[in-house]
Structure 1
Amino acid sequence: MSNKSKPIGLSCWKSIIVLFCLLNTLASKAQERVLLQDGISKHIFIYKEIESFVDTTNKLTIKDVIKPAFSDKFKPSKTFTPTNYQYLHNGWYRIKINHSQAVKNSWILEFFDQTIEEIHFYTPDHQGAYSQQSFGAARPFDQRFYFHKNFALNLDTAFKGDRIYYFSVKSSHPSNVMVVLKPVVSYFKYALKEYYLFGIYYGMILIFSLYNFMMFLAVKQKQYIYYIIYNLSIGMFEMSSNGIAYQYLWPDSPEWNGIAFGVMLYLASISSMLFTREFLYTKTKAPTLNKLILVAIGIRTLFFGACLFIDEQLFNYKYIEIIPLVICYFTGWYVYKKGYRPARFFVAGYTFLVLGVLIRVVKTVYPYNLPFGPANFYSLSFCFIMEMLFVSFAISDKVRLLKKKKDKAQSRMFQEIKLNQLLKDNQNKELEKQVLLRTKEVIAQSEIIKSQNEELLNMNELLNLKAEEINKINEFLKRDNIELQTDIEKVSQARVMSKEVDFTEFSKIYPDNNACFKFLAELKWNDQYQCRKCGNVHYFEGISPHSRRCSKCGYDESVTTNTIFHNSKIPINKAFYIIFLMYSSNGKISSYKLSEILSMRQGTCWAYSNKVKKIMDERKKELKNAGEKGWSKLVLL
């Protein structure tokens, strides 16, 4: 008996030691519980008060996660409040609330991130079974229990003791899992105060927009339209981000609500850069930065197209807006350093905006030990208001500067008008003196002129008789000259067409475009005009020289249409001479010789001479015995 009792006693001691170690381990890892107390207005679940793990299979149910085997998979939050960065998988969370104390208040649980698409909340009953409540941004707004931008549900305090609540979160973007325990009274008090502040905030944005619209009506500058679009886009972005837009503007459109913030952010970014260009006169004051802004607008638009038509998940990369913000901020500093004073308010406003973005970046990149509060939660909204305020100052300063310049210009103009009037008065007095002196001289000379006029009348009668005789002689000479000139032109043209002449002599026959066009018109329509479109034979003068416009269909045919000169890039008289030389030399003159004669590029002469040579080869039979008519056979196509 004594031999068997020793090993049994040793075994019992070992079991006690193992059990003690296990209990000690569980106690060290036990989740902290939150005690319901009527004296608190709210409690945020932080650090060890909220535990989580990620279901990479996306298949686990509440029956699976409440099993003891899953207890060790839940880990306490390492940040002030957990954030689900693995948004492709279900995130499971649990909180422990103690109902031991008697409480009079009704309590709710509120989820502050209203962009979470699916939340399934599981509440235990006294038998250990769990009931499910589902809500999220992917569901129509009217399915919520409370008509509020945040998700909220009532907490059942009927059962006493520690109660563990589970909930799963799934979204298409990183989610901030901030759970707050509040009495219902505090919840409504905070909600009313928050909505009151929202009304002030969005009212200020509307006031800024209305102010700029009035400025646009007064000044008629498109920069105010850009800034109105920017203000309204920022307002809509804020409403889309905090859930107000989903609550009041599109409560039945969860799909649009998922991308509305990205669309509004794009409009705000583009309108901000366009406003910067117009307000700071970057075309003249900073040409390089102006080109950089245009490139940024193009790239941002391409990225927006990729977000909209390729992958809507790209909308989650909000911090791409830092690039346009930095460009606008640097442009403001640069233009201010160049001496443009209204830019100082622009820089001040964007300094607040940069500060707000930096706070948001710090919250995202380094969330550890960063407590929740209005100062950091609404910091960007406050910075937006300050930016709009200072930019409004900048716009007013710009208008004041323009008014000052206008007043100075008007003052200068009035001084010039006054000086001109004084000069005009002095000139009028001097002219009056000169007119009086001249009048006396004219009266004295009028008598002399009167006697001379009588003599001139007699002479005029004799001159009229001589003039009639001279006119008759001139008419005979004019006829002879016309006939002689016509004969000379015919002889010259015949000489040009029949033998080799230089370009100087050739230019006398076709000295300008008009002479060339006149020749082409006679060559084209020597027989009779006929419209190429409808066959009509009646025409009016066309728009270009020597062109003809159909009186029926209105087709205007230029003189070079359907000729070798159509769409030619070289002067038409030189083109005439190239054809003449090619025809007279039977196509044997080189492009180098043509370049030397006409002072043109050899490549141009080579291309055009080849075009003529090709037509000569095609019409070799027609040109064989054409003589002088060979010219026209090369011109018309």
Structure 2
Amino acid sequence: MPSFLQVFRSVLFLLLLFGLGHGRAKAGGPVRLCAKTQCVMLDTACFQVLADASGQLTLAQVQQPAIAARFGIVPEQPYTMRHPGTVYWLRFRVCNQDSTQRQWVMELFDSHVTHVTWYRPGPNGQCDSVVTGAGHPYATRLYQYRDFIFPLRAIPAAGQTYYLKLRSVSRTSLRGILWNEQSLLVHLRNDATWLGVFYGILGIILLYNLCLFAFVRESTYLYYVLYVLSCALLFLTEDGLGFQFLWPNCPRFNLLANCCAPVLLLLQFALYSRRFLDTALHLPRFDAWLKGLAVGSAGLILLDVLLLKTGQSYWVYGLPYGAFYVAAAVLFRRGSRPARFYLAANMVVALSVIFLIARKLGIELLSEHPMTVYSLNIAFVLEVVVLSYALAEKIRGIKCETLHTQQELLKQLRKKQRAQELLVAQLQQNQELKDTLNTELESQVLRRTTELQQQSQTIALRNQELSEANTLLNSQARTIEQLNQELKRDLQQTQEARVLSKLVNFEDFSRIYPNRDACLRYLAELKWQRGFRCRKCGHEKSCDAREPHAQRCTRCGYLESATAYTLLHRCKFDIVKALYSVLLVHTHQGEYSSLALSQVLELRRATCHNFIQKVHAAMQMRQQSADYDKTESWTHVLLEEYQPIENDQSIPGSAEVPGSYA
């Protein structure tokens, strides 16, 4: 059964001939070799074909004039063995005009021919033969290579005639190429290199997703691993590497693998696509059609391969692939992120298939361009890479939704806990109802105790934090005394802030805050002018961290940078320009245009627009504050995102800022 990869192999040798310099014989004429020839393409123009429906003809009978006259040139391109089981005799003549007497070999591209007999004239006038093929053990091949390679003896200038006897159980293309030994070695080395890269990428993707499945235990990864394995099996059967390295002594299994690999790939593709797109959940009615279409298409392909043998079953592949593509397009319009990656990955494969089908139909579409020649391999590599990334994104989204659900469940459990405490207090105040409500209460306690077992540690931690909060209340008096001692230093900072509240140009502003260190120092003094207080444990003592002007809690090690919980947190451009932007926007009451700001600071207009919107939002929040004063300095806006988080459970060393500018 001809497949897309067989068409790919047919186009591959055209590219090799185009790059190496080649000759082409006239239709029906001999193949002429010269000193400049590196390789010669053997197609319908070179071969004379004789179909032997009986399969009983021998070489001696074929050479008789009566039967030899039946050899003819077939005009179709590419010519294929249309009748499986029929014996085809190929005859071609080679004339050697090369004085260097280089050794030549013939490569027959299609490695799926079941039986191949090569006849080569000997020095005594008789022909010796080599019998091999996909239906014979791999050891019968003269050259241990995935294609059939046959050596030519010394070719006289007058020419020599060679015969090939072919018989296959499926439709097979008749194409080949003549190589000299030096060009063949270069071809074999390049071929092995690129195939090694291709299978290496598939192996890496396979191992990566297999490890993810082992750690995450998500079944989608397992389906994807099986899909990549079916892709690798298809390529191994089509390019002959599987027969060469994996099952060289099992020709029957080789023929079976050639027939079953496309069907297995189709079924695994359907199984993985349904799982990846969640069609059973999002498109329940269409999902039943998808399953039936995939199973029906696989059955038609097997029927054609085993019984009908028309060789046209590859057109059936378009039905399930097209149906899944339509399903992905529908889900994409509904806002599904996985469908976006699915469409992008399969669009590359669809484009490569279009190129291959066009060549099979005789349509020339960039036939000599490497990207179209290697399109199918490249498309499969891009597909598995994109789908691997898409699968990771999908699992990440599922984890986020699960985390959100768990947080909502935690809130509900806390509400239930408070309700239980109120119920216990009411029972203590109403002793006369204790006997009647005792049975009901015990059943509720047992049921809810099971629900609250997972929250016991959280409750204990909350109790500890409440006790620490009481300690913090006692330390407020000491904090007030400390603030009084810092009034002098705050007075100097206030004077500097008043100077900056006036509108100055960027050059004068840069003199006051010349670099990032000066800005960070100013932010640090502004944030902790009343002393440091840990956002995790409430501790009031800190030490300098490795990051400039950052503080680390001496009790729990919580690290907080100077920009955290300010408008400048995660700012993507120069912090000096950002600080000056806040001054300009605040001075102009938020009416400063992004175009003017981009011209002053030499930044992109979109960046300035986004930052102005952020400052404007902070100003509005400030105006809604109870202690807002119209004459206050612009520095109040810097800390507008400074929202203390009670009972923060974030990891020590982090500073989460809700709504920070990215």
Does the CA contact (< 8 Å) of 2:280 and 2:287 recur in 1?
yes
Matches within 5 A, 1:307-456: 311=307, 313=309, 317-366=313-362, 378-409=374-405
Question: In 2, Cα distance between the equivalents of 1:327 and 1:424?
Answer: 53
Aligned residue number for residue 111 of structure 1: 108
Q: CA deviation at 1:355?
A: 2.4
Does the CA contact (< 8 Å) of 1:146 and 1:152 recur in 2?
yes
Question: In 2, Cα distance between the equivalents of 1:173 and 1:374?
Answer: 29
Q: Does 1:292 align with 2:289?
A: yes
Q: CA deviation at 1:172?
A: 0.9
Q: What amino acid maps onto 1:398 in structure 2?
A: K
Aligned residue number for residue 36 of structure 2: 39
Q: 1:85 aligns with which of 79, 82, 89?
A: 82
Question: In 1, Cα distance between the equivalents of 2:392 and 2:364?
Answer: 43
Does the CA contact (< 8 Å) of 1:111 and 1:151 recur in 2?
yes
Deviations 1:69-117 (A, max 9, x none): 4455333342455322233322222222112331243211111111111
Q: Report the structure number with the largest CA radius of gyration.
A: 1
Question: In 1, Cα distance between the equivalents of 2:269 and 2:296?
Answer: 15
Question: In 2, Cα distance between the equivalents of 1:352 and 1:181?
Answer: 33
Q: What amino acid maps onto 1:320 in structure 2?
A: V
Aligned residue number for residue 224 of structure 2: 227
Q: 1:263 aligns with which of 237, 244, 260?
A: 260
Does the CA contact (< 8 Å) of 2:300 and 2:313 recur in 1?
no
* Mean CA deviation greater in 59-68 or 168-177: 59-68
Shift of the 266–396 alpha-carbon distance from structure 1 to 2, 3 Å rule, reads: same
Q: CA deviation at 1:401?
A: 1.9
Does the CA contact (< 8 Å) of 2:86 and 2:167 recur in 1?
yes
Deviations 1:201-255 (A, max 9, x none): 1222222222222332343232222211111011011101111011111111111
Secondary structure at the counterpart of residue 180 of structure 1: strand
Aligned residue number for residue 142 of structure 1: 139
Question: In 2, Cα distance between the equivalents of 1:427 and 1:152?
Answer: 88
Q: CA deviation at 1:369?
A: 10
Does the CA contact (< 8 Å) of 1:345 and 1:390 recur in 2?
yes
Question: In 2, Cα distance between the equivalents of 1:398 and 1:185?
Answer: 50
Q: Does 1:213 align with 2:210?
A: yes
Does the CA contact (< 8 Å) of 1:79 and 1:367 recur in 2?
no
Aligned residue number for residue 248 of structure 2: 251
Shift of the 197–382 alpha-carbon distance from structure 1 to 2, 3 Å rule, reads: same
Deviations 1:386-416 (A, max 9, x none): 2212211221221232233345445656676
Q: Which has the higher contact order (CA 8 A, sep 6+)?
A: 2
Q: 1:272 aligns with which of 263, 269, 272?
A: 269
Deviations 1:2-26 (A, max 9, x none): xxxxxxxxxxxxxxxxxxxxxxxxx
Shift of the 336–369 alpha-carbon distance from structure 1 to 2, 3 Å rule, reads: closer
Q: 2:180 aligns with which of 180, 183, 188?
A: 183
Task: Count matched residues.
Answer: 407
Shift of the 229–247 alpha-carbon distance from structure 1 to 2, 3 Å rule, reads: same
Does the CA contact (< 8 Å) of 2:78 and 2:360 recur in 1?
no
Does the CA contact (< 8 Å) of 1:223 and 1:274 recur in 2?
no
Q: 1:123 aligns with which of 100, 120, 138?
A: 120
Shift of the 315–35 alpha-carbon distance from structure 1 to 2, 3 Å rule, reads: closer
Q: 1:172 aligns with which of 169, 176, 180?
A: 169
Shift of the 370–150 alpha-carbon distance from structure 1 to 2, 3 Å rule, reads: farther
Does the CA contact (< 8 Å) of 1:229 and 1:267 recur in 2?
no
Q: CA deviation at 1:286?
A: 0.6
Question: In 1, Cα distance between the equivalents of 2:276 and 2:258?
Answer: 26
Deviations 1:443-495 (A, max 9, x none): xxxxxxxxxxxxxxxxxxxxxxxxxxxxxxxxxxxxxxxxxxxxxxxxxxxxx
Aligned residue number for residue 55 of structure 2: 58
Question: In 2, Cα distance between the equivalents of 1:268 and 1:369?
Answer: 27
Does the CA contact (< 8 Å) of 1:36 and 1:98 recur in 2?
yes
Secondary structure at the counterpart of residue 45 of structure 2: helix
Does the CA contact (< 8 Å) of 1:80 and 1:371 recur in 2?
no
Matches within 5 A, 1:439-518: none
Question: In 2, Cα distance between the equivalents of 1:38 and 1:172?
Answer: 39
User: Given the two structures, how large is their TM-score scaled by the length of structure 2?
Assistant: 0.55
Question: In 1, Cα distance between the equivalents of 2:72 and 2:245?
Answer: 38
Question: In 2, Cα distance between the equivalents of 1:114 and 1:245?
Answer: 11
Question: In 1, Cα distance between the equivalents of 2:357 and 2:145?
Answer: 27
Does the CA contact (< 8 Å) of 2:170 and 2:311 recur in 1?
no
Shift of the 52–374 alpha-carbon distance from structure 1 to 2, 3 Å rule, reads: farther
Shift of the 384–203 alpha-carbon distance from structure 1 to 2, 3 Å rule, reads: same
Q: What amino acid maps onto 2:387 in structure 1?
A: V
Question: In 2, Cα distance between the equivalents of 1:373 and 1:56?
Answer: 39
- Which has the larger share of helix? 1
Aligned residue number for residue 567 of structure 1: none
Q: What amino acid maps onto 2:264 in structure 1?
A: L
Question: In 1, Cα distance between the equivalents of 2:307 and 2:143?
Answer: 33
Does the CA contact (< 8 Å) of 2:95 and 2:155 recur in 1?
no
Does the CA contact (< 8 Å) of 1:135 and 1:143 recur in 2?
yes
Question: In 2, Cα distance between the equivalents of 1:302 and 1:76?
Answer: 37
* Mean CA deviation greater in 124-133 or 224-233: 124-133
Does the CA contact (< 8 Å) of 2:341 and 2:387 recur in 1?
yes
Aligned residue number for residue 198 of structure 1: 195
Question: In 2, Cα distance between the equivalents of 1:201 and 1:254?
Answer: 25
Question: In 2, Cα distance between the equivalents of 1:435 and 1:292?
Answer: 63
Question: In 2, Cα distance between the equivalents of 1:116 and 1:387?
Answer: 30
Deviations 1:361-385 (A, max 9, x none): 3333437899688655543222222
Secondary structure at the counterpart of residue 337 of structure 2: coil
Sequence identity percentage: 22
- Mind listing any 5+ residue stretches in structure 2 that lack a counterpart? 1-24, 432-662
Does the CA contact (< 8 Å) of 1:126 and 1:159 recur in 2?
no
- Mind listing any 5+ residue stretches in structure 1 that lack a counterpart? 1-27, 440-637
Question: In 1, Cα distance between the equivalents of 2:26 and 2:191?
Answer: 38
Q: CA deviation at 1:305?
A: 6.9
Q: CA deviation at 1:143?
A: 1.2
Q: CA deviation at 1:352?
A: 1.9
Question: In 2, Cα distance between the equivalents of 1:264 and 1:283?
Answer: 26
Q: CA deviation at 1:129?
A: 4.1
Shift of the 316–200 alpha-carbon distance from structure 1 to 2, 3 Å rule, reads: farther
